[in-house]
């Protein structure tokens, strides 16, 4: 059955992997599943056809036959449950991998999103410079224990799983801030994720959409 996802027609980052369709593309690449992409403009996202797919008018979405999903956590979990390679067979290891998915989205990502808010959406507000160090400290309060838990491990809990896929996806948004460099093992962890052939294919497909026509 054909899988169709939605992505930005023009991603604000120029297709450098920061928009959330990257996570879905990556999961599909890890699972070896072909997919099609419906590109949507910011205006289209708020129109009825897209709102029927996504109640909040965002990307990405996922369609497979009669099934339509939104929320990247739900989408990558759906992919991981149906295809080998992203969740362990052992029940306890599987439950732990799912726990890391939730940890990535519920515990680590929120302060990282606050950083985007303070820098981008509130960057021109008078309180922004004062708020920034507070947000950075909240990020460190998540990265310090995460770094301690990862230690010198390759992945968070044995073999690579969808928990790592989401955690790396969440962390890589921090690269520009420089804070990852304070945690060399986390920086190496993110780099390991990005070196995976499936991630590279996902990144290249997203970039191709946004690359200027006739560009390199
Ligand atoms: N919780 C939802 C999920 O995980 O699926 C969040 C979805 C979401 O935030 N989607 C964003 C969106 O559609 C795109 S990813 N925004 C448009 C809107 O809300 O109107 C967020 C994003 C966008 C752009 C960059 N960038 O270019 O750097 C990075 C991240």
| 109, two tokens | 């990502």
Domain that holds residue 101: 91-196
Within 10 Å of residue 67's Cβ, how many Cβ atoms? Answer: 10
Shared domain for 143 and 166, answered yes or no, is yes
Angle, helices 21-31/72-82, rounded to nearest 10 degrees: 0
The number of domains in the chain is 2
Question: Other CB atoms closer than 10 Å to residue 29's CB: what's the count?
Answer: 21
**Per-residue confidence (pLDDT) for residue 211, from 0 to 100:** 82
In a domain, 125, yes or no: yes
Judge whether residue 215 has pLDDT over 90: no
Nearest CA to ligand 1 atom 26: 13
- Do 97 and 72 fall within a single domain? no
Q: What is the pLDDT of residue 48?
A: 98
Rg (CA), the chain: 18
Interval between CA 108 and ligand 1 midpoint (Å): 16
How confident is the model over 76-127, as pLDDT tens digits? 999 999 999 999 999 999 999 999 999 999 999 999 999 999 998 998 999 9
How much is the pTM? 0.96
Q: Is the same domain home to 191 and 203?
A: no
Query: By the 8 A CB rule, do 207 and 15 touch?
Result: yes
Give which of 30, 24, 126 is closest to 72, Cα–Cα: 24
Is there a single domain that holds both residue 66 and residue 35?
Answer: yes
Q: How far is the CA of 11 from the centre of ligand 1 (A)?
A: 10
pLDDT, tens only, 119-170: 989 989 999 999 999 999 999 999 999 999 999 999 999 999 999 999 999 9
The answer to the question of residue 215 being in a domain is no
Counting from 1 in the atom list of ligand 1, the atom nearest the Cα of 56 is: 19
């Amino acid at each position: 059955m054909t899988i169709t996802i939605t992505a930005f027609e023009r991603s604000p980052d120029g297709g450098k992997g920061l928009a959330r369709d990257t996570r879905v593309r990556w999961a599909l690449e890890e699972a070896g599943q072909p997919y099609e992409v419906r590109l949507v403009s910011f205006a289209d996202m708020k129109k009825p056809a897209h709102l029927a797919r996504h109640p909040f008018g965002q990307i990405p979405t996922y369609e497979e036959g009669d099934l339509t999903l939104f929320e990247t956590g739900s989408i990558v979990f759906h992919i991981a449950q149906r295809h080998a390679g992203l969740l362990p067979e052992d029940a306890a290891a599987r439950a732990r991998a799912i726990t890391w998915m939730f940890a990535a989205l519920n515990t680590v990502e929120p302060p990282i999103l606050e950083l985007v808010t303070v820098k981008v959406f509130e960057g021109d507000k008078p309180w922004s410079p004062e708020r920034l160090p507070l947000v950075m400290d909240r990020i460190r309060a998540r990265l310090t224990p995460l770094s301690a838990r990862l230690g010198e491990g390759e992945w968070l809990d044995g073999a690579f799983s969808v928990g790592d896929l989401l955690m790396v996806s969440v962390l890589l948004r921090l690269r520009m801030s420089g804070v990852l460099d304070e945690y060399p093992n986390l920086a190496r962890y993110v780099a390991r994720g990005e070196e995976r052939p499936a991630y590279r294919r996902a990144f290249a497909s997203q970039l191709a959409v946004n690359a200027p026509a006739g560009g390199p």
